[in-house]
């Protein structure tokens, strides 16, 4: 019997709405804190200045929110409910999980 195919999960962070800040105590980190499967991660941004060596392109003052383990998301919706500005979109095989359906 063929193994069951896993849905393709895509998590998008709207950078204009997101209030994430690693260093600002008032900056939001709710999705990171609430996700039971630790889907989210952060790293400093890299300046797109290719005239300097790679290790010097890191800007430690500005960190970005990433979803490197989105394939493991089970669609529980906890992050959607926690994200006040509605900065997150999650799709399974292209179908969005509605915040309402997730219990928001
Ligand atoms: S829906 Fe649930 S498992 Fe998926 S990223 Fe959000 S909190 Fe994590
Ligand atoms: S909960 Fe929403 S606003 Fe807060 S860090 Fe996550 S995506 Fe950004």
pLDDT digits (tens, 9 = 90+) for 5-62: 788 999 999 999 999 988 888 899 999 999 999 999 999 888 888 898 988 898 888 8
Cβ–Cβ under 8 Å, residues 86 and 30: no
pLDDT for position 9: 96
Residue nearest ligand 1's atom 7 by CA: 35
103 versus 31: the higher-pLDDT residue is 31
Ligand nearest to the CA of 24: 2
59 lines ligand 1 (CB under 6 A): no
The pair of three-digit structure tokens given for residue 67, joined into one six-digit string? 């979803």
pLDDT for position 49: 87
Give the position, in ligand 2's atom list, of the atom nearest the Cα of 20.
5
The pair of three-digit structure tokens given for residue 51, joined into one six-digit string? 């005239």
Domains present along the chain, CATH in parentheses: 9-96 (3.30.70.20)
pLDDT for position 91: 97
For 62-102, the pLDDT digits (tens) are 899 999 999 999 999 999 999 999 999 999 999 999 765 55
pLDDT-based confidence at 2, cuts 50/70/90? low
73 lines ligand 1 (CB under 6 A): yes
The predicted model scores a pTM of 0.85
Q: How wide is the angle at C-alpha 34 spanned by C-alphas 30 and 35, nearest 5°?
A: 120
Cβ–Cβ under 8 Å, residues 80 and 99: yes
The pair of three-digit structure tokens given for residue 46, joined into one six-digit string? 């890299």
């Amino acid at each position: 019997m063929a193994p069951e195919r896993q849905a393709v999960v895509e998590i998008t962070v709207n950078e204009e709405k997101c209030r994430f800040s690693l260093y600002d105590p008032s900056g939001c980190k709710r999705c990171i804190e609430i996700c039971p499967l630790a889907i989210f991660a952060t790293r400093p941004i890299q300046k797109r200045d290719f005239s300097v060596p790679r290790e010097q392109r890191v800007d430690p003052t500005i960190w970005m929110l990433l979803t490197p383990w989105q394939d493991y998301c089970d669609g529980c919706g906890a992050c959607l409910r926690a994200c006040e500005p509605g900065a997150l979109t999650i799709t399974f095989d292209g179908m969005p999980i509605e915040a309402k359906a997730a219990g928001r």
